[in-house]
């Protein structure tokens, strides 16, 4: 608690304490948006694997 007596540290602590609830709400929303924005690679990997199996079976 002694740290709060340092003027600029006290300002940073109070500012971050005010921003903390906003950040706790925004970060999950940003994470969900990023996950939905990324392309789904799972189907293309399966498609590549099955096509390579088919080409091996034909040879």
DSSP state of 6: S
Q: What is the pLDDT of residue 30?
A: 94
| Gap between the Cα atoms of 9 and 5, Å rounded | 8
Is this structure's pTM higher than 0.85?
no
Q: Which residues does 2 contact at the CB level (< 8 Å), separation at least 6?
A: none
Q: What is the pLDDT of residues 10-53, one digit of tens each?
A: 777 777 777 778 878 888 999 999 999 998 887 766 666 666 66
């Amino acid at each position: 608690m002694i740290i709060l007596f340092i003027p600029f540290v006290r300002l940073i602590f109070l500012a971050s304490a005010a921003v903390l609830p906003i950040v706790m709400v925004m970060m999950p929303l940003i994470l969900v948006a990023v996950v939905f924005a990324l392309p789904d690679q799972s189907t293309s990997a399966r498609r590549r694997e099955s096509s390579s199996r088919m080409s091996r079976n034909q040879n």
